[in-house]
């Protein structure tokens, strides 16, 4: 923190003097500044002390955050081993612990996605959907689309294509990247068609069909042809 004091010293040097003030203030600006510092030493110390406390708090917060991220990463590494080995019962317990304990970190949110997959592998579709949907609210922006898409996958596995389309729509809305957004929009349109809602899927496909050079354009054109062929 830099204290700019010279304007105050200049004002003190230029201020009108009275008989009562001549004894306490010198005509020398440097001497006046010294006197001012002596009188105000306590307030200055309080300001500098407050700045030091704030700096220490920021340092402690960053250190604690870094430590938490490291612990979360290590915990995720350990928890995913039974998942890789196909030991879904063990993986469920381990990943849930990481997701619950480090939910604010990237590793904790990754653990939630893996936990949902573990639930799905065990045909616990409702539990997987619930885990993904509940995590969305506190998740970082980077993970929200994936969590919505994971919930959509659960609805697909249950055969609820209307709910799946709704979840894919949320994933598309949350996505910050165009290619990812288009992928989720296509998934939403497919789910709507599977649910017998071709009329709702049509405007999505029409929009995607206008995106020259994209991966989804060709599929969109084919789907529009399918919709047209089914119309009376």
- The domain locations on the chain are 50-140, 161-232
Round to whole Å and give the CA distance between 223 and 197: 13
User: 3-state class of 22 per DSSP?
Assistant: coil
Confidence band, pLDDT 50/70/90 cuts, at residue 15: very low
Nearest of 121, 175, 126 to residue 148 by alpha carbon: 175
Over residues 142-168, mean pLDDT: 97
Over residues 120-146, mean pLDDT: 95
Percent of the chain with pLDDT over 70: 72
CB 187 within 8 A of CB 168: yes
Residues 6+ apart with CB under 8 A from 52: none
How many C-beta atoms surround the C-beta of residue 200 within 10 A?
Answer: 16
Compute φ and ψ for 27, nearest 5 degrees.
Answer: -75, -10
Confidence band, pLDDT 50/70/90 cuts, at residue 215: confident
**Average per-residue pLDDT in the chain?**
81
Nearest of 113, 185, 165, 106 to residue 141 by alpha carbon: 106
Round to whole Å and give the CA distance between 211 and 85: 41
138: enclosing H helix or E strand: none
Round to whole Å and give the CA distance between 217 and 210: 7
Round to whole Å and give the CA distance between 21 and 23: 5
pLDDT tens for 60-104 read 434 447 788 888 899 999 998 999 999 999 999 999 999 999 988
**What is the pLDDT, as a whole number, of residue 104?**
84
Nearest of 175, 165, 174, 167 to residue 203 by alpha carbon: 165
Name the packing angle between helices 125-136 and 144-158 (round to 10°): 160
Domain 50-140 indexed as CATH 1.10.3470: no
Round to whole Å and give the CA distance between 221 and 157: 27
The larger pLDDT score, comparing residue 14 to residue 73, is at 73
Round to whole Å and give the CA distance between 74 and 70: 6
**What is the pLDDT, as a whole number, of residue 182?**
96
**What is the pLDDT, as a whole number, of residue 109?**
92
């Amino acid at each position: 923190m830099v204290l700019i004091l010279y304007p105050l010293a200049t004002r003190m040097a230029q201020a009108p003097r009275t008989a009562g003030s001549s004894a306490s203030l010198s005509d020398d600006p440097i001497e006046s500044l010294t006197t001012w510092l002596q009188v105000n030493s306590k307030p200055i110390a309080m300001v500098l002390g407050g700045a030091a406390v704030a700096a220490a708090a920021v340092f402690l917060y960053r250190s604690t955050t870094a430590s938490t991220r490291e612990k979360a990463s290590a915990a995720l590494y350990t928890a995913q081993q039974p998942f890789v080995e196909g030991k879904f019962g063990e993986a469920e317990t381990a990943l849930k612990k990481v997701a619950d304990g480090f939910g604010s970190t990237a590793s904790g949110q990754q653990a939630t996605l893996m936990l949902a997959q573990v639930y799905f592998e065990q045909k616990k579709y409702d539990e997987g959907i619930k885990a993904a949907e509940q995590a969305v609210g506190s998740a970082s922006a980077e993970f929200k689309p994936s969590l919505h898409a994971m919930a959509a996958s659960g609805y697909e596995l249950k055969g609820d294509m209307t709910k799946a389309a709704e979840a894919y729509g949320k994933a598309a809305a949350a996505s910050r990247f165009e290619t990812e957004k288009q992928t989720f929009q296509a998934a939403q349109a497919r789910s709507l068609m599977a649910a017998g809602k071709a009329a709702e899927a049509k405007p999505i496909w029409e929009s995607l069909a206008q995106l020259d050079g994209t991966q989804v354009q060709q599929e969109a054109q084919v789907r529009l042809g399918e919709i047209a062929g089914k119309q009376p």
